[in-house]
Structure 1
Amino acid sequence: MLRPEQMSKVSVAGSRSVMEPVIETVHGMNLVHLSDYDGSWEGFDNGDPIEGAEEASETLVTIRALESILDIENGEAGPNRIVTRDEIDDELPGIRETVNDLDDRRDEIRDEIRTVDERIAAIEPFVDLGIDLDLLGGYDSLEVQIGRGNVNEIEAALSDEESVDAYETFTGDDVVAVFAYPADDAEHVIDDALVGVEFTTYEVPDSARAPEEFLAELREQKRELQAQRDQIQTEIDELRDEVGGFLLAAEEKLSIDVQRAEAPLQFATSKRAFIAEGWIPTERYDELESKLRDAVGDSLEIEELVVAEYDDHGHAVHAENVEHEDSDEEATAEEKEPAEDDTPQKAVTDGGHSTGSAATAGGGVAMMRDSPPVVQDNPDITEPFELLVNTVNRPSYNELDPTVLVFLTFPFAFGFMIGDIGYGILYAAMGYPMLKSNSKATQAMGAIAIWAGIFTFIFGYLYDDLFGVYLSDLGIDLPLAGIISKGITSPAYLDLWLVVAVLFGVAMLSAGWIVGFVNDLDHGIKEAALENLSWVVGITGFFMWVFSHHVGDLKPDFIVGPDAALANEEIASFLTFTGFPEEIGLLGIGLLVVGLIGIYLGEGGVGLVETPAYLFGHSLSFLRIPAVLLAKGGMAFAVNVIVFGQYVADDGSEVFGLPTKDIAAMDPNFAGLLHIDGVPFILLVLAAIVVFAIGHFIVLMLGITAAGIQMVRLEYVEFFQKFYEGGGEKYDPFGYDRNYTTQD
């Protein structure tokens, strides 16, 4: 469960005459994670694509371009179908011609609409000006410019310009027309006059018509073009409905063909033989062998080269000979390892030699020394939390997968921090639609949201909270409801949660180091213990001393003594812990010293430098859990005070002004929206509903960002840092998950 699925390295070797049926069989199984041949065997090169690969790739590019033009999305294919290359070759040219014609026409119309829009934008200022276009140019002795600027500044500049004999301006809402007579045959007098003025010039449209008529004509032209564009789009939509399923199926068919055709690029090939290697789940080796035997008979050598166990680098190691009932080979590795000029595989007949590959315990020779890919092997219930783990990095093959640990801690802590029946229901409701998404990541997020909602509901029940209101205040009394409190109005619970959070942190950190110890056992038990268990001993000793009576007068009262948080019998009768005896504290100091010595021996001075952060700082980081608990609870409390008000009961307790409470005899701390005098009650109710909904929605969303992000941080930084490296390669089997086609 905590280890990835065990993988085996397999080798398939045979003559090139059976390579294509082997590829087809292996591809259909969608099982083998192919290893790339690295050219290390003398006489063997990477293979060439099978004939037709280039043509299929080009056709595939064409199909994807057509899908883009038609805006075809996944899921629009209808029932699965069989699509042949002949059918694609027959149908595709006609579809391409039609699609390209429609796309070209649509582009032309769009360009024309864009041009008309530009002309409309150019004419609109002149409509605002109200002067016919033929009056704005064509003069011999009169200069005219139309533009946008401050008319007062323009007129002042024209008045000061000596080369301007006379001028006149006409204005609209956002346009100015300037007419000027040059003095003494001067030229460009308006340009010279407006050098220091902010003035944007408009080009006068080439038309003798009134601007209003010209604008109306352009707008009518635009409407006609838009109608043509819409008609073309309708034709495109109809064509998409007609050929979308075929194109998706053809794309899938060609993608499969290209995958198969390009597979030899990963093989070692000679003139007459090929060798392919890859990784499969160990338990499926017999299935692979059986399928290949059915496809090509005995003209193929199939061998399980190695069963990958776990070492410190994630490389495949082998501890036992691999034997199968169908194998006729009983030679040892030494007997089968090729000497010079010998063939490395029985089916290799043309003189290939190993130049650096390792013989395996199973008797074969591995061409590629690659690490096994990772297939995370977690219970179905925990699989969504692989998303949180893989966001950091995929586990390497040699280390424990922390997914189950994240499943056990993340939703639990999230629910503790938010703890509200109403919020829990809403979180789960938000997650449920996400389960129906086509995206696996979105599905995982939906499942995580549901789990977070479940634990939020559970803790909300224990807190007796429904949107920040006690169920008991609503007249609803349920078993076990309210047996714990968030601590918003209870200092005793506040102290308790502070202590519990630190102890929870110590437990998580210790679990992380223990996992690290298991991961590092292949280094040797001594090294693994020094590098990991020394920290467990150190942190255990440190907090044994913290929670002891040794120098107890210097420690906060809520840690040790009669007022300790763990000695409050008013909260629970079993809370009687006032602190360890001084002797235990001294023992804790001894354990701390032992731990520090082990840390130094295992990690050197760097480990000692990290000790304050790892033993103390990272433990205190878990105080963010009660901090979020109080913050979100306080925000919900504030929203309810605004809506319902807060009143002092006869026994001195403070309660919300709920309909179930007789507040007439109570003193108000704050009246609340529902109890404001002089305002119609219906308006108060509507205002209260709006404030209640918006306020709790904000708290709900902030709960995701606060509780979610803070717990993710604790998982990634404080927890994972103790043991997790990641870097595993994703298991990517050679094959294709068909969505639109059936098997040929």
Structure 2
Amino acid sequence: MSKVSVTGSKRVIDDVIEATYEHHSLHVTDYDERYEGFEPGESLDGAEAVNERLVTVRSLESILDVEGDEIEVGGALDDAALEAELADVRERVNALNDEHDELRAEIRDRQEEIDRMEPFAELGIELDLLGGYESLEVVVGEAKPDAVEAALTDADGIDAFDVFAGGNVVAIFARPAADADEGVLQDSLVGVDIALLEVPDAEASPTEYVAELERERDDLRSDLTAVDAELASVKEEAAGFLLRAEEQLTIEAQKKEAPLSFATTENAFIAEGWVPTETYADFEAAIDETVGDHAEVEELERASFTPDGDHHTEAVGGDGSASGAAAASTAGADAADADDVEREAATDGGHATHGSDDPPVVQNNGSAAGPFELLVQGFGRPKYSEFDPTLLVFLTFPFMFGLMIGDIGYGVLYAGIGWFLYANYDGAFREMGAVAIWAGLFTVLFGIYYGIDLFGYHAYPLLGIDSWPVAKGLSPADLDWALSWLVVSVVFGLIHLNAGYVLSFVSNLQQHDLKHAIYESASWLLLLNGAWLWIFSQHVPGPKPDFLFESVSVLTLGAVTFSGFPVAVGIAGLVAAGLGVVLLAIGEPAELAEVLSPVVNVISYARLMAVLLAKGGMALAVNLLAFGAYIDNGGSGSFHFIFSAERLAEVQAQPDSYELVFAGMTTAFDPASIGAVGVVALLGGVVVAIIGHIVVLLLGITAAGIQGIRLEYVEFFGKFYEGGGDTYLPFGYERQYTAEDN
């Protein structure tokens, strides 16, 4: 990327903005008021009016729910035509929208009145009979009649009462005693669970009144439907105009507000930003063709950055001429007092820039790895100086996810969910869908590898295969596989972290020198590999578990045996680790406190095995509850699901050969003697299986997804990646609805 400045007279600022906008390559840098004599620019004339119209257009689009998926490109709109049509659409839409809101409010009022009257309609007593007595007190409310009668029977101050009930509503008529206070009836009901109702003031009977309200409500709903139809008609007519108007006004607003990022004086302006170096010549030519000598374009620097954020300026031009102050003065010569323009000189005699901003970043990882930029950006967009790890995340995250879940059924569902997101949404949801598709495909692949696992069920017998050599390690006979997956997780962690440290070494070597690369990266590489060479060696074998070495034979199905690296290799590993500590002490002594992190970070990858066993165990438990399971070889073999009452009887008849783990719910159903209990058990088992596997599916997303991302962010990125770069946002607009001649 090249940092450039455009310096010119304010007389041509409109033309320069237009040319820059059309070229669509300059990432504008905001001026931060650091130089005496310069101040941020002001919006061009008419910006306020443009923004007001833009707000109006977007408000109308929101009311009409305009999306524009099928709107064709149209021609430019002149200001008079745009203003006239916008006023017409605004008037029609606002009138219909106001009517829409009024109708909704009236419908809501009618519904509230209906809700208030319905209890009285259930009660079945005319409203004029529920009040107006001199010798009686009347209360209406929602309560249980028995509770009301019990309370009033024992109440003092009540000579007589009667309770009428209809649905959940009661009407209580009571004659107070001669010496009772007013309101004695309500006081007597204090201990009763009753919701008092206010008697409406209406002449008609409750039933008739409710019916009339419902008719009015239905008429209002018909009117509302008609208004919605008119709004839909207006949307069909005006959607194209509104989208074109929004795009045109957005472009105009951006142009008029562009000077807010410029450094300006009374007569001149300086705009700075970044352009791809290969486009600089075309950008300079575009400005020169538009305004000639009234503006000058200068390439300030071609930035070369180091991973720690330092940068230097690659020589540009060679003669050191055309400083910012001189260029501003030259351009300002077309206006009065332009000679007063000054700008702080750069230390190398060149242009003094707005600030020390880093170049913006463009990520371009192709169609396959591209969606994984979403995961990288969740940590932070790469800086201009950094290696973009998107490709490595693409190669490792789906692998880790598939390893942890490893089930064909779940994998197909994950891929299906991903396809739905990918096909129906844009932006982040579409990218998330692509990530889910890749994760689902790897889950399917590992599901096949683990024994054609289908929702926790080994389906290889259905293909006529008697046995499968690979297992997750959930059965008593397969415990060696569980420990082997722990070793696989550790070895994967070693490879993953080595890649991170190698990237750190290469970056330091390219941007600094060999010394920095050795002290800051090679030291950790020596520590990492030296320590784990010793762990996998026969030097001091006592504390090292046997499965570290035996797992190689398990994983290779006996084709390769491994008893550990020779003692000499282990000693060499210790020497390498010690050398790493020495280099670290010389180059980065503050990091000696983290000297054990290479060992700890690798062990952190054991979560791959943990999630694999946890999710496999959950799927096994769901199937066990629903379909029943037993272990063959008297309890020392593998899990097998029962499914049927007939098979359950066979298992129970051979206790020496089979250990019954759980009989299962569906096995209570016997087709030979169908009974109610068996049918209920069958349905219950199916429900348990469906809900259980949905839970496992969702927990797989949170467990495997989060743990995989954590390993990428914490263990892997922490070795070479910082993030925090800025997105490359060139000044301009990608048109969708208006022609380029606008």
TM over 0.5: yes
> What are structure 1's unaligned runs of at least 5 residues?
1-6, 324-329
Residue in 1 aligned with 2:233?
A: 238
Deviation string 1:615-657 (CA, Å, 9 cap, x unpaired) is: 333211111112223333444555666659668599x975858
Residue in 2 aligned with 1:679?
A: 671
2:700 corresponds to 1:712: no
What SS does structure 1 have at the residue aligned with 2:251?
Answer: helix
2:351 corresponds to 1:364: yes
On the 8 A contact 1:358/1:367 being kept in 2, the answer is no
Over 3 Å counting, the alpha-carbon distance change for 1:230 and 1:355 in structure 2 is same
Q: Which amino acid aligns with 2:254?
A: Q
Give the C-alpha shift of residue 88 in structure 1.
Answer: 1.5
Over 3 Å counting, the alpha-carbon distance change for 1:231 and 1:83 in structure 2 is same
Residue in 2 aligned with 1:116?
A: 110
Q: Which amino acid aligns with 2:730?
A: P
Q: Which amino acid aligns with 2:613?
A: L
Residue in 2 aligned with 1:29?
A: 23
The separation in 2 between residues aligned to 1:464 and 1:65, in whole angstroms, is 57
Give the C-alpha shift of residue 260 in structure 1.
Answer: 0.7
Q: Which amino acid aligns with 1:397?
A: Y
Alignment of 1:147-186 (within 5 A): 147-151=141-145, 154-155=148-149, 158=152, 162-182=156-176, 183-184=178-179, 186=181
Residue in 2 aligned with 1:535?
A: 524
Residue in 2 aligned with 1:628?
A: 611
Q: Which amino acid aligns with 2:384?
A: Y
Which moved further from structure 2: 517-526 or 235-244?
517-526
Which moved further from structure 2: 280-289 or 385-394?
280-289
Residue in 2 aligned with 1:576?
A: 561
The separation in 1 between residues aligned to 2:538 and 2:574, in whole angstroms, is 13
Give the C-alpha shift of residue 475 in structure 1.
Answer: 3.3
On the 8 A contact 1:434/1:442 being kept in 2, the answer is yes
Give the C-alpha shift of residue 353 in structure 1.
Answer: 4.6
The separation in 1 between residues aligned to 2:494 and 2:4, in whole angstroms, is 44
Deviation string 1:666-695 (CA, Å, 9 cap, x unpaired) is: 967668889877316998999998777666
The separation in 2 between residues aligned to 1:155 and 1:471, in whole angstroms, is 67
Residue in 2 aligned with 1:4?
A: none
2:423 corresponds to 1:431: no
The separation in 2 between residues aligned to 1:427 and 1:249, in whole angstroms, is 39
Over 3 Å counting, the alpha-carbon distance change for 1:297 and 1:482 in structure 2 is farther
2:88 corresponds to 1:94: yes
2:483 corresponds to 1:495: yes
The separation in 2 between residues aligned to 1:434 and 1:451, in whole angstroms, is 13
On the 8 A contact 2:7/2:324 being kept in 1, the answer is no
Over 3 Å counting, the alpha-carbon distance change for 1:679 and 1:722 in structure 2 is same
Give the C-alpha shift of residue 35 in structure 1.
Answer: 0.7
Residue in 1 aligned with 2:493?
A: 505
Give the C-alpha shift of residue 242 in structure 1.
Answer: 1.5
Which moved further from structure 2: 197-206 or 32-41?
197-206
Over 3 Å counting, the alpha-carbon distance change for 1:437 and 1:298 in structure 2 is farther
What SS does structure 2 have at the residue aligned with 1:436?
Answer: helix
What SS does structure 1 have at the residue aligned with 2:671?
Answer: coil
What SS does structure 1 have at the residue aligned with 2:60?
Answer: helix
2:41 corresponds to 1:47: yes
Over 3 Å counting, the alpha-carbon distance change for 1:687 and 1:177 in structure 2 is closer
What SS does structure 2 have at the residue aligned with 1:106?
Answer: helix
Select the residue among 554, 563, 574 that pairs with 1:589: 574
Residue in 2 aligned with 1:486?
A: 472
Give the C-alpha shift of residue 276 in structure 1.
Answer: 0.8
Q: Which amino acid aligns with 2:219?
A: E
Q: Which amino acid aligns with 1:135?
A: L
The separation in 2 between residues aligned to 1:426 and 1:185, in whole angstroms, is 73
Q: CA RMSD in A?
A: 3.6
On the 8 A contact 2:484/2:555 being kept in 1, the answer is no
On the 8 A contact 1:311/1:398 being kept in 2, the answer is yes
Alignment of 1:202-601 (within 5 A): 202-314=197-309, 316-319=311-314, 321-323=315-317, 332-333=319-320, 335-337=321-323, 346-349=330-333, 350-351=338-339, 353-356=341-344, 358=346, 363-467=350-454, 472-475=460-463, 484-489=470-475, 490-520=478-508, 522=511, 525-560=514-549, 564-567=550-553, 571-573=557-559, 575-601=560-586
Give the C-alpha shift of residue 577 in structure 1.
Answer: 2.5
The separation in 2 between residues aligned to 1:702 and 1:195, in whole angstroms, is 51
The separation in 1 between residues aligned to 2:153 and 2:437, in whole angstroms, is 76
What SS does structure 2 have at the residue aligned with 1:577?
Answer: coil
Deviation string 1:204-242 (CA, Å, 9 cap, x unpaired) is: 111132111111111111111111111111111111111
Over 3 Å counting, the alpha-carbon distance change for 1:126 and 1:457 in structure 2 is closer
On the 8 A contact 2:411/2:441 being kept in 1, the answer is yes
The separation in 2 between residues aligned to 1:426 and 1:82, in whole angstroms, is 47
Q: Number of aligned pairs?
A: 715
Select the residue among 125, 135, 150 that pairs with 1:131: 125
Residue in 2 aligned with 1:146?
A: 140
Give the C-alpha shift of residue 193 in structure 1.
Answer: 3.7
Over 3 Å counting, the alpha-carbon distance change for 1:466 and 1:525 in structure 2 is same
Over 3 Å counting, the alpha-carbon distance change for 1:681 and 1:591 in structure 2 is farther
Q: Which amino acid aligns with 1:222?
A: R
The TM-score normalised by the length of structure 1 is 0.86
Give the C-alpha shift of residue 509 in structure 1.
Answer: 2.2
The separation in 2 between residues aligned to 1:355 and 1:293, in whole angstroms, is 23
Which moved further from structure 2: 243-252 or 306-315?
306-315
Which moved further from structure 2: 414-423 or 112-121?
414-423
On the 8 A contact 2:20/2:26 being kept in 1, the answer is yes
Give the C-alpha shift of residue 552 in structure 1.
Answer: 0.8
Over 3 Å counting, the alpha-carbon distance change for 1:142 and 1:420 in structure 2 is closer
Give the C-alpha shift of residue 386 in structure 1.
Answer: 0.9
Select the residue among 185, 189, 208 that pairs with 1:190: 185
On the 8 A contact 2:296/2:327 being kept in 1, the answer is no
Deviation string 1:435-487 (CA, Å, 9 cap, x unpaired) is: 33452212222221222233334334444515256665333689xx9675434
The separation in 2 between residues aligned to 1:673 and 1:153, in whole angstroms, is 45
Give the C-alpha shift of residue 369 in structure 1.
Answer: 2.6
Over 3 Å counting, the alpha-carbon distance change for 1:259 and 1:163 in structure 2 is same
Percent of aligned pairs with the same amino acid: 43
The separation in 2 between residues aligned to 1:19 and 1:729, in whole angstroms, is 27
On the 8 A contact 1:357/1:367 being kept in 2, the answer is no
The separation in 2 between residues aligned to 1:39 and 1:262, in whole angstroms, is 17
Over 3 Å counting, the alpha-carbon distance change for 1:508 and 1:348 in structure 2 is farther
Q: Which amino acid aligns with 2:33?
A: G
Over 3 Å counting, the alpha-carbon distance change for 1:122 and 1:488 in structure 2 is closer
The separation in 1 between residues aligned to 2:188 and 2:447, in whole angstroms, is 77
The separation in 1 between residues aligned to 2:100 and 2:116, in whole angstroms, is 24
Q: Which amino acid aligns with 2:481?
A: Y
Q: Which amino acid aligns with 1:538?
A: L
Which moved further from structure 2: 501-510 or 467-476?
467-476
The separation in 2 between residues aligned to 1:697 and 1:241, in whole angstroms, is 42
Alignment of 1:639-718 (within 5 A): 643=627, 678-679=670-671, 698-718=695-715
Q: Which amino acid aligns with 1:543?
A: W
Over 3 Å counting, the alpha-carbon distance change for 1:571 and 1:259 in structure 2 is same
The separation in 1 between residues aligned to 2:434 and 2:600, in whole angstroms, is 32
Which moved further from structure 2: 123-132 or 347-356?
347-356
On the 8 A contact 1:432/1:450 being kept in 2, the answer is yes
On the 8 A contact 1:415/1:456 being kept in 2, the answer is yes
The TM-score normalised by the length of structure 2 is 0.86
Give the C-alpha shift of residue 152 in structure 1.
Answer: 5.1
Alignment of 1:70-81 (within 5 A): 70-75=64-69, 77-81=71-75
